[in-house]
Amino acid sequence: MKNANPVSLLWRGGWLVLLLLLAGCDETAKTPPAAPKTAADFFAIRVGAKTVRMQLAVLPAEMEHGLMDRRDLGEDDGMLFVYTRPQRMSYWMHNTPTPLDIGFFDSGGMLEEIYAMQPFDERSVTSRSTLLTFALEMNQGWYRKNGVKPGAQLDLKALAAALSERGFEPAKFGLGE
């Protein structure tokens, strides 16, 4: 009578079969790498002392669409527009039904300017500074309600990690990893 117990297989010279079976149980070898996140995904990033759930608009098409047609922006949700170089910024509310505030940040992540924007208003809201790299759109009144004022700091380390998760190299945006 034969014994099919794995221990007896090992003793009967079947150790090679057992090792091959165990080697085939490595699930990490079968798991494909995770796909990069998209503009629809949210990332927890601090602005001053407040954590915001941000979507990142990085590609030109994402920036052009922004928060158009959105009526579902949560209380602490926003969209961060990420540029590769400092510049003057100009935004409008074309097809945007939600009243927003926009905060403009310099390349060091410091909040420099905040402006209110009205639904569907196609007049441009333009920054004074020409040295801005990030723009954060939030529900209107969010900055005031949360005490986030010019001088507040955007968490650039968390932003660099979020850009990496999106499949971008943070260094291309002037951010270290």
Q: Where are the domains of the chain?
A: 1-31, 43-173
pLDDT tens across the length of the chain (177 residues): 444 444 443 444 554 444 444 455 555 556 677 788 999 999 999 999 999 999 999 999 999 999 999 999 999 999 999 999 999 999 999 999 999 999 999 999 999 999 999 999 999 999 999 999 999 999 999 999 999 999 999 999 999 999 999 999 999 999 975
Q: Which CATH architecture has domain 43-173?
A: Sandwich (2.60)
DSSP string, 146-164: TT--TT-BB-HHHHHHHHH
- The pTM score is 0.81
- The Cα–Cα gap between 13 and 115 comes to 77
